[in-house]
Amino acid sequence: MQLSEHFSFEELTQVGPHVGIFNDPPHELAANLIKVAEKLEQARAIWNVPIRISYGYRSEALNGAVGGSSTSAHVDGLAADAIPQGLDLRAAWDALVADPAFMQDVDQLIIERGCIHIGLPVFQHHFIPRHELRLDEDLNGRRAYPLFGIWTANGVVKA
């Protein structure tokens, strides 16, 4: 089932290598998946390349299997991990950060694990975007995503 022109329900609910984990979102999250698909369409237009999705919605079981945060927007169907085909991740991330129309409703934009996490505001933050910008970092063999800065309409405020 298509959620937007280029993104399907199946793409946003795939389990990757975690075959056998139940990952069907509850019906009340359908609107969230559509919001994410629309945000991905914006990213695709900015990048002008196809996007592969590594994860969108993640059930609690799948989120645990991938090592996701217990407060992950993926569990609410409000995030996707996008891989812009043929683009350097940092250049793609920078292009999104530079686009005010894209960034105005982004909660988190993170380069992580070979993709760009695009997260929309969640209940825990009263659905208000925090505009957090984070970069993947290796801290002695452990993945970390320290705050790079906060996006504002006037530019990035570095952390």
**What's the pLDDT score for residue 38?**
98
- Give me 18's structure tokens: 């975690």
The pLDDT value given to residue 138: 86
Place of tokens 């990757």: 16
Q: How many of the other CB atoms lie within 10 Å of CB of 1?
A: 7
Does 125 score more than 80 pLDDT? no
- Two tokens, residue 13: 């609910």
Strands (E), the chain: 51-55, 79-84, 108-112, 115-119, 132-135, 137-139, 142-144, 147-152, 155-158
The residue ranges of every structural domain in the chain are 11-158
CATH 3.30.1380.10 fits 11-158, yes or no: yes
pTM of the model: 0.94
Name the least confident of 18-22, 33-37, 98-102, 122-126.
Answer: 122-126
Tell me, what's the pLDDT at 155? 87
